[in-house]
Amino acid sequence: MYSKIISIGFGLLTGVITTESTHACACGCGVFDVGTSSMFPSGAGMVAYLESDCQNQDRNWSGRSSAPAAANADTKITTHSYTLGLQAMFNRTWGAEIEVPYLWRTFGSTGNAASLHWSEFGDIRLRGIFTGFSEDLSSGLTFGVKLPSGDFRHTEALGDIDRDTQIGSGSTNLLLGGFYRGRIPAGTDWNWFAQAQLDVPVFIQNDYRPGVEADAAVGIYDEGITLGPVKVSPVLQLIGAVRGRDSGSASSRDDTGYERVLISPGIEMHLAPVKIYLDVELPVYEQVNGNQLVAPWLLKTGVSWMF
């Protein structure tokens, strides 16, 4: 069984390459991976989950403020993703997790007569979980890899989609993370949690290396509210993300890399063995290199089944 502390990952946006003077910005879907306490185990068992994420990048940003749309040839990147996941805790110390995403994307640019639409499977993530630091499993480590399973060559011959706007990155990444949770104060219904993850590209393809990314989240939630048989937990999180510049001849180094902070209110409803989760992430600070498209909000929903 799992104590699903909810959180939301981190806002991302990165610049990407283009064929002329275009300055795109990747969907930043890693924002939905880090900090989610759906993967905070409390004992041996399994959980299957389906997560839906959405963001619409339609604002040009430069430095710490909005910038004229004319400075960026790309006009929008809309991404809807659905991730099917399975986590298995073999005992109170060791576990494993797999996530398989499927994405729908729309890309608009002044260089195209019409918006481009396509959908494909994304990059699969495999993680191991260690929770042997304490009897209550309140702390743990995660470690794994992101596989280059997503396509990064969509309409490559036309040269109209940047590498960082592709659904797949083409890189194999090392994933290292950790989490901790506790009560505020001890013995009350209020809890707090923190989680962080480092995402480091190790092997790359076609001379494109995504920037190294570090994400972290801290949040609080209340477990003491019930509506009949349903336990309701309001959640409030603060999320931060830092990503370095992309590199390689297939990148646009000057228009990649960012720093971002988001505030994320959410709610979780638990009617065993099912949990439903919803939150929205709102940027409160954004700093990007060059010109990049950003989203005014991000939405995450999910349902999980514990067994």
Residue with tokens 């600070």: 285
> Do residues 82 and 99 lie in contact, with contact meaning Cβ atoms separated by under 8 Å?
no
Residue 6: pLDDT band (50, 70, 90) is very low
The CATH number of the domain covering residues in 15-306: 2.40.128.130
pLDDT digits (tens, 9 = 90+) for 208-249: 999 999 999 999 999 889 999 999 999 999 999 999 999 999
- At residue 206, the pLDDT reads 93
What confidence score (pLDDT) does residue 150 get? 95
Structure tokens at 98: 């797999």
The encoded tokens of residue 232 equal 């309701």
What was the pLDDT predicted at 135?
85
**φ, ψ at 254 (rounded to 5°):** -65, -20
Q: Looking at residues 46-67, what average pLDDT do you find? A: 95
DSSP code at position 161 = S
Task: Please give the backbone phi and psi of residue 51, each rounded to the nearest 5 degrees, phi first.
Answer: -120, 135
Mean pLDDT of 259-286: 94
For residues 151-160, give the mean pLDDT: 73
Q: What pLDDT is attached to residue 143?
A: 97
Strands (E), the chain: 15-16, 24-25, 45-57, 59-63, 65-66, 74-89, 94-109, 116-121, 125-130, 139-146, 172-183, 190-203, 213-222, 225-227, 230-243, 258-271, 274-294, 298-306
* Residue pair 106/112 in contact by the 8 Å Cβ criterion: no
Residue 305 has a pLDDT of 93
pLDDT at 37: 55
Residue 160: the pLDDT is: 67
The pLDDT of residue 293 is: 94
- The answer, yes or no, to whether residue 173 has pLDDT greater than 70, is yes
Q: Cα angle at 288 between 285 and 290, to 5 degrees?
A: 150
Kindly indicate the confidence band of residue 284, based on its pLDDT and cuts at 50, 70 and 90: very high
| Average model confidence (pLDDT) across the chain | 85
pLDDT band at 283, cuts 50/70/90?
very high
Q: Using the Cα atoms of residue 209, residue 74, residue 254 and residue 34 in order, give the sign of their dihedral.
A: negative
The residues facing 4 across adjacent strands are none
Residues sharing a CB contact under 8 Å with residue 266, sequence separation 6 or more, in sequence order:
6, 7, 8, 234, 235, 236, 237, 277, 278, 279, 280, 300
Q: Which of 18-22, 180-184, 260-264 tops mean pLDDT?
A: 260-264
Whether 20 shows a pLDDT value over 50: the answer reads no
Q: What is the pLDDT of residue 203?
A: 97
The span from the CA of 156 to the CA of 162, in Å, is 9
- Report the distance separating Cα 60 and Cα 57, nearest Å: 8
Higher pLDDT, 65 or 154: 65
Both tokens assigned to 140: 């743990």
**pTM for the complete prediction?**
0.86
Domains of the chain, by residue range, sit at 15-306
Express each pLDDT in 85-113 by its tens digit.
Answer: 999 999 999 999 999 999 999 999 887 76
Residue with tokens 């990059």: 123
Question: What integer pLDDT is reported at residue 156 of this predicted model?
Answer: 63
The contacts of residue 171 (CB under 8 Å, 6+ apart) are 146, 148, 201, 202, 203, 204, 205, 208, 209, 210
Percent of the chain with pLDDT over 90: 68
pLDDT at 224: 84
CA distance 62 to 257: 11
Does the N-terminal peptide bond of residue 273 adopt cis geometry, omega within 30 degrees of 0? yes
Helices (H), the chain: none
Average pLDDT, integer, range 26-37: 53
- Mean pLDDT, to the nearest integer, of 283-297? 95
Residue 175: strand pairing partners: 144, 199
